[in-house]
Structure 1
């Protein structure tokens, strides 16, 4: 049985791998920043939490073990919070302005002869990520940049 929290974090990790990390998307979507922060924090913060906990234990001793463990768990959970946010974002329906832009991009790609699977509305950010990923893979950069 999958728990909703676990499923959301897992969806966030998948979404972070699907989203195209292109600099021209930085000004439009926050995903690039969140993915970068989450990736870096997943590599650095667990080690940093352990080092800080050891340092606190050394200076404060056994009396503050509860607070030391709590602060270590809080710092080590920051990447999970980022993946959770990304999982919620992946399942969020596109706002009307982004949905119309999504539809225009989709139509232009179909006019270029790229086959896309039919999707039912409402479109979600995960659908947008898949479309952008396919556009970056199969179209030249000038064609992609003109949409932005």
Structure 2
């Protein structure tokens, strides 16, 4: 049950995190989210094609290895969601907490705070704040921090 909770947290985190190019230099989330999304689309198909080719070339005597390779390729996106789920629950370092508070102050300054101000505790909280900032603030205001 813990694994399912972490995977679902990773999926929610990947949907919440704003995938903006200026965040690439600071956070690895953009790369992990991009590769995980591509893996979800292409790896199941690739695993079936690989299994068919291996079965054609090696025959039925290697069926166990073929199935293991197929399951490995199909399950690779789960590793990305697992990493994202663990990352979403990690607590923020003090520098990122201060940076998030500056962003929250800018949202309040522009009078566009939709949600109640809360404390930034985890990367998931930062993702929600960044998403809100990108939706409500001007791009020139957001680029000030990058």
TM-score of the pair, normalised by structure 2:
0.94
User: 2:23 is matched with which residue: 22, 25, 30?
Assistant: 25
Question: Is 1:90 the equivalent of 2:54?
Answer: no
Contact 2:13 2:124 (8 Å CA) reproduced: yes
Structure 2 equivalent of residue 65 of structure 1: 63
Show CA shifts across 1:75-118 (max 9, x none): 11110100111111111111121111111211222222132323
User: 1:102 is matched with which residue: 97, 100, 103?
Assistant: 100
Unaligned runs of 5+ in 1: none
> Aligned partners of 2:3 and 2:86: how far apart in 1?
10
Structure 2 equivalent of residue 41 of structure 1: 39
Q: Following TM superposition, where does structure 1 have runs of at least 4 consecutive aligned residues deviating by more than 2 angstroms?
A: 118-121
User: Cα RMSD over matched residues?
Assistant: 1.1
Contact 2:107 2:136 (8 Å CA) reproduced: no
**Corresponding residue SS for 1:38:** helix
> Aligned partners of 2:11 and 2:46: how far apart in 1?
22
Structure 2 equivalent of residue 76 of structure 1: 74
TM-score of the pair, normalised by structure 1:
0.93
> Aligned partners of 1:16 and 1:23: how far apart in 2?
15
Structure 2 equivalent of residue 144 of structure 1: 142
